Amino acid sequence: MAVPIQTVAAADGMEDIGQRIGKGDPVVGKTLSASERCQECHGEDGNSTDNRIPKHAGQYANYLIKQLRDFQSGARQHEVMTVMAEDLTDANIADIAAYFASQPTMQGLPMRDFPIATKLFFEGDKGRAIAPCSSCHGDTGKGNRTGEVAYPVIGGQNKNYLRAQLVSWKLSERTNGPDGVMNKTAKLLSDDEIEALANYISGL
């Protein structure tokens, strides 16, 4: 008997969700992210309404886990997050990451046209050796899970947070990415380009 198409689609969907949430328990993570106060800033469902605070809804669990470990080790520095991450066990981290990753993926409000940003996003700039953002973060900025590295979801992320991260990669205040890839990229961007990219990507 032929396998009904819907079953195949559902199975593919499950596999995608499994990869996204990792090995943690999202049910435990929901309770923990409330008791550990994560939801106060990042939103109950991971959609922070404070423009400076990142959304986590639908973010890849292994990206969230890496960031929390980086806050713990000091590889990524932030006054508040260093304290928030300090006492979490590996199991806590995996469960909380699984909960936020299991939420519907963050969405922005479509923005007006940003021609400079659109070009950089999809084509990069060969003259300056800027690779297209879409080559790693995906055509809709919803990240890309291939192998060990999870390229984070950036489409629909809060605008002020996006701008701040690009500036901090540019100034090498944030250096925790693999092979300094984001530092190399952001150093080549002007402030106007960063502003346009943050606007454009937040609307994806």
List residues near ligand HEC by CB under 6 A. 36-38, 40-42, 52-54, 64, 66-68, 78, 80-81, 84, 88, 96, 120, 131, 133, 135-137, 149, 151-152, 154, 162, 164-166, 176-178, 181-182, 185, 197
- Backbone phi, then psi, for 130, in 5-degree steps? -95, 120
Q: How far is the CB of 1 from ligand HEC (least distance, A)?
A: 44
Q: How far is the CB of 5 from ligand HEC (least distance, A)?
A: 34
CA distance 68 to 16: 23
If the CB atoms of residues 5 and 86 are measured against ligand HEC, the closer one turns out to be 86
CA distance 145 to 86: 27
Q: How far is the CB of 184 from ligand HEC (least distance, A)?
A: 9
Q: How far is the CB of 116 from ligand HEC (least distance, A)?
A: 11
What is the separation, in whole angstroms, between the first and last Cα of the chain? 41
For 44-82, letters b (16+ CB in 10 Å) and e give: ebbbbeeeebbbbbbbbbbbbbbbbbbbbeeebeeeebe
Q: How far is the CB of 48 from ligand HEC (least distance, A)?
A: 8
Q: How far is the CB of 17 from ligand HEC (least distance, A)?
A: 19
If the CB atoms of residues 80 and 91 are measured against ligand HEC, the closer one turns out to be 80
CA distance 45 to 36: 14
If the CB atoms of residues 5 and 109 are measured against ligand HEC, the closer one turns out to be 109
Position 41, amino acid: C
Provide the 3-class DSSP secondary structure of residue 144: strand
CA distance 58 to 103: 5
